[in-house]
Amino acid sequence: MSSPSTNTAQQSHTREGTQKVIIRLKAAGNAPILKQTFFKISPSQKFQFVINFLRKELGSGPDEPLFLYVNSAFAPAPDELISNLYKCFGIDQSLIINYSTTPVWG
């Protein structure tokens, strides 16, 4: 039989594991502005998923330049987990991703 505190901890962990991360996309430089600037994804996805999604939304090919930055500060590796980025750099319950077709920061 589980104690009440153990059950609460298990329920909390289950909720966190299934909760989606809100990604807010902000255009920078000369990048076109998207009609929908936010979406939810699983925290277990890799950053490459965001890159592929944004390429599809912008209609850009794999050879066209696309630069993505977290909080206007740095470009994460494509294999970085969304959950790690959100835990370290999430603001107001979302992860802000700036995008551009030319380098704008750093």
- The 10s digit of each residue's pLDDT in 3-55 is 454 444 434 333 455 699 999 999 999 999 999 999 999 999 999 999 999 99
pLDDT mean over 85-103: 95
With a cut of 80, say whether residue 79 has pLDDT above it: yes
Answer yes or no: is 69 within a domain.
yes
- Which DSSP string do the residues of 48-102 spell out, in sequence order? HHHHHHHHHHHT--TTS--EEEETTTB---TT-BHHHHHHHH-BTTEEEEEEESS
- The predicted model gives 74-103 an average pLDDT of 96
Closest listed residue to residue 34, CA positions, set 19, 20, 50: 50
Q: What's the confidence (pLDDT) of residue 5?
A: 44
Answer yes or no: is 3 within a domain: no
Residue recorded with tokens 């603001």 = 91
Q: How far apart are CA 105 and CA 42, in angstroms?
A: 27
| Residue 8, SS3 per DSSP | helix
Q: Note whether residue 59 is domain-resident.
A: yes
Q: Is residue 105 part of a domain?
A: no
Q: Mean pLDDT in the chain?
A: 86
Domain that includes residue 23, residue range: 19-100
60-83 average pLDDT score: 95
Confidence class for position 105, pLDDT limits 50, 70, 90: confident
Task: Supply 79's token pair.
Answer: 């294999």
- The CATH number of whichever domain residue 82 belongs to comes to 3.10.20.90
